[in-house]
Amino acid sequence: MLVQDLPLKTESEFYRKNISQINEEYTGKYIIIVGEEVVKSDTDKIAIYKWALKKHGLGNFLLQKCEGKKTQNVRHLRFPIKVVIPSS
């Protein structure tokens, strides 16, 4: 599958083009990309996912972990993920 066939093409291309700068700033964090902008970062994957889902809606954002590598796979999820948070 080619990048142009994937959902979130703009976000994926932005991440790939800017991976060095993004990883320098956000290593060890999860980021949310909407369009050509990192709109939020956090170390808590569940918290940032829930924030993005509420703010932007499913399928309208790219959630990516910045691992400090020069190249990194962009993961696309084509189905909703059910997140179960244990009650405290």
Strand partners, 38: 33
Name the residue range of residue 43's domain.
3-65
**Residue 77: inside a domain:** no
* pLDDT tens for each residue of 35-80: 999 999 999 999 999 999 999 988 899 999 998 776 555 654 444 4
Distance CA 6, CA 20 (A): 22
- pLDDT number for residue 29: 95
Number of structural domains, the chain? 1
Q: Is residue 17 part of a domain?
A: yes
Residue 84 lies inside a defined structural domain of this protein: no
Residue 16 placed within a domain: yes
User: Quick check: 83 pLDDT over 70?
Assistant: no
Per-residue pLDDT band at 3 (split at 50, 70, 90): very low
d(CA 43, CA 29): 5
Residue 86 lies in a domain: no
Tell whether 47 is covered by a domain.
yes
Domain assignment present for 73: no
The label of the residue with tokens 């990516």 reads 64
